[in-house]
Chains A and B, each alone.
Chain A
Amino acid sequence: MAGILACGAYIPRFRLGKETAGWGSPLEKAVANFDEDSITMAVAAAQDCLRGLDRSQVDALYFATTTPPYLEQQASALIAEALDLRPTVFATDITNTLRGGTIALRAALDAVMAGSARQALVVAADSRMSAPRGEWERSLGDGAAAVLVGREGGGAEILASHTMTEHMLDTWRTPQDLFVRSWEDRFIAEEGYQRVVPQVVSEFSQRHGVVPKDIDRVALYAPDARRHQDMARRLGFRPEQVVDPLFGKVGNTGAAFTLLLLVSALETAKPGDRILAVGYGDGGDVFLLRATEGVERVRSNRRLVSRHVEAKRILPTYETYARWREVWVSEAARRPPPPMPSVSALWREKEANIRFYGSRCNACGYTQYPPQRVCTKCQAVDQMTPVRLAETYGTVFTYSMDYLAGTIDTPLVVAVVNFEGGGRWLGMMTDREISEVRIGMPVELTFRKLRTVGGVHNYYWKCMPVRA
């Protein structure tokens, strides 16, 4: 029986909250930093999921989002490279639907059952926007989730599933829209969410003979807190059965939402626990899972959901968030605009820039980044072994805080990082408080988007204070 071999999650560090000047609400919302997007968050969640595993066994990658950075350019291809998956991996983007996460899960399970993949990685991420002070702003949040599925040996087996597909304009966006559009709230609630979810859950229940008291935990999609609480009750679940939907802490994370709540359930599931996962958007999906004796394997040494929820920082002003999303127009710094990157140079440097490989000299053992042909220590030529440093911890050897560079996160913190096991790198630090930066601080690498120039999203790694 197909099952979940491992899971992971990622929620951005920053929140709008009670202490945020200009937010005006005690509810917290997780907001991606200026250098994050659905691709970078997906990489982070997948790294959490794949921690300690042999990723050469991953045969397929399914990535779901409604906020892909490109319309013509496969996000999963880039994610696969940032994760250092094999080039022969089957990768696909499942976009344009809030149900993307569960659709991707269904497709991945079909692949492992059919034998076209031994292990399939499902990742979902979203960073949807409402207009400032708009109707949806307080319900939406940014985040990502990942599950690795396989045919056997899972920590949670998929017992059954059901699906329903229906075209419905309740919330939507065209390629030109920055903000989520929706029709009148009572219409979309009554004829959308409140009609479809009970229907798909009831069909599933009838087909598989499952009733609410058989379920230990339900990971239930909902557009907002009120509708979530209402639906759980309508479906017959008691509050203690319901996985915390994280409204008021994170928000609705779009295509990632149901998977994120499923990962949250797996964080604390005991062997034998039955988990129901319900997705919604252009129809509905229902999955029934059962945690096995090996459920601990699925979550060990991983950050998952609650650690990400807790390791947070409240932004001091709404303005910061608005600048990150470029809905607050600012005067540019008196610096020349950044040049367009050379696409051929980006392609040639993928090993170093996207997979973050350095090289270790076979003659003298010295690790150097970026990869060198001629060893910097012993001058041996072309005797290098590639070594991936993306998931190696480091410490800050020295740093500066630049008020001139003109980046959004002024002052830009640049750090010389020495990696555990050898190697050094000069890079940018993100997700930092100025007051916490010091020589000797431990850092980890994180995949981020540096900037977009000439329609090219320039992705690279930055360092950040170790999260959680």
Chain B
Amino acid sequence: MESIRDRVAIIGMGCTKFGERWDADAIDLMVEAAYEAYQDAGVSPKDIQAAWVGTVGSFSTGQALAEALKLDYIPITRCENACATATDAFRNACYAVAAGIYDIVLAMGVEKLKDTGASGLVTPRPMGSDVEPPTPPPAQFALAATRYAHHYGIPMEQLKRILAKIAVKNHHNGTLNPKAHFQREVTEEQVLNAPMIAWPLGLYDCCGVSDGAAAAILVRADWAKSFRDDYVLVKGLGLAVGGRQGLLHDDYDFVHFPENIRAAQIAYQEAGVKNPRKEIDLAIVHDCFTITELILYEDLGFTERGRGPAEVEAGTFTLEGELPVNTDGGLKCFGHPIGASGIRMIYEVYKQLQGKAGPRQIKKTPRLGLTHNLGGRPGSFTAAVALFGGRD
């Protein structure tokens, strides 16, 4: 097997305003994201030779992308990999470019969720016996929160305080981001007193349901400098897909997500990262729930097992901290249009590496940024980890 490191470059990206976009459907969102990317890359739509579009449930085939962007019968693959969809669309686009089959391609992630009228996430379900608990994601992730407190002997009130600090951190970062759905601060007390969604997770422990799209234009690394100087290189791409092991194995502990660890291992190995805590300058991670972010600090090797709460108390992962996590506000402030989130994450890393993150720009000049994108539920996940860096 070969490494993806330094073989593919991002030369342009776009990201819509995320939120309850009553004004836009999936087509509108794709146009918004793509045309920002074209402009950023300095390319024309006609230059795109192939495309990968990720969506979980907004449409079925790549035809929607062709129709939205008026693409001229080019090959388009529709990708789906739960909440890691966008990163997987991006990943497949990278491999096609690295293989030398295509010179310039588009990776798009999009989701239109707000036409259902429902509270909480609604995902399409194929017909079956329907005996599994009808629980949307909050209850599934809450299983990890309940167990985390028990496993590490932390009183639940104390764990909820730690989780609240993560929500507060991300909300603060979101106030600095005009593309985020939520741009307001919350206090720890507000988080702790919020209505319960799936005990022990309350309203502010959960990311919202929203609409959005994000896009990236990719070329082979050796061609990138003819487009711009500050192109961003793909350093590593890891994907790990679970097979329900955690629900079939009665010894799975619910306080670590093995898929995260495996995906990160692949990405770190490709990028040559030996000490993630020291070598990674910022991380945009999948904070679908506050407990998810807490656990993945440990899974991604940013701290040791069980030390997540101590790091949160120490402020390690704030914007001013040693390793800023979710500088753009995360899923907490963007919401989670499922098929779009992974590329929205890459957008923030891309801008940070280019020094264009404005008030969110981290103090240290970033050289290596990580995105982490997670689908499924504790016991069976699809985890994608990607690493990006500036040109050496």
Chain A residues with a Cβ under 8 A of chain B: 333-336, 338-342, 345-346, 349, 353, 367-369, 372, 376-377, 397-407, 411-412, 414, 416, 418-419, 422-428, 439, 450, 458, 460
Contacts and interface: CB of A to CB of B under 8 A. Distances in A.
Contacts of B238: none
Contacts of A425: 247
Contacts of B150: 398, 439
Contact of A397 (B120, B130, B147, B197): B147
Interface stretch (B19-27, B134-142, B316-324): B134-142
Contacts, number: 140
Interface of B: 116-120, 122, 125, 127-136, 138-140, 142-147, 150, 195-201, 243-245, 247-250, 252, 254, 379
Given A405-B139, A412-B135, A414-B143, A336 B250 contact: no
Nearest first, the 10 A-B pairs at minimum CB distance are: A400-B142, A402-B139, A424-B250, A401-B199, A398-B147, A342-B127, A460-B131, A376-B248, A334-B119, A400-B139
A339 B119 CA distance: 17
Given A414-B143, A418-B250, A439-B147, A404 B133 contact: no
Contacts of A398: 143-144, 146-147, 150, 254
Taking each of A335, A353, A404, A439, which has the highest tally of chain B beta carbons within 10 Å of its own beta carbon? A404
Contacts of A340: 127
B131 A342 contact: no
Given A345-B129, A404-B198, A460-B131, A377 B119 contact: no
Nearest to B130: A341
B133 A345 contact: no
A407 B135 CA distance: 10
Contacts of B199: 400-401, 403, 411
A353 B198 contact: no
Nearest to A414: B133
B129 A342 contact: yes
A416 B143 contact: yes
B147 A335 contact: no
Contacts of B243: 376
Given A424-B249, A426-B247, A400 B134 contact: no
A400 B118 contact: no
Contact of B133 (A339, A346, A367, A412): A412
B15 to A, nearest CB: 28
Taking each of A335, A400, A407, which has the highest tally of chain B beta carbons within 10 Å of its own beta carbon? A400
Taking each of A398, A406, A422, A425, which has the highest tally of chain B beta carbons within 10 Å of its own beta carbon? A398
Contacts of B118: 334-336
A423 B250 contact: yes
B133 to A, nearest CB: 5
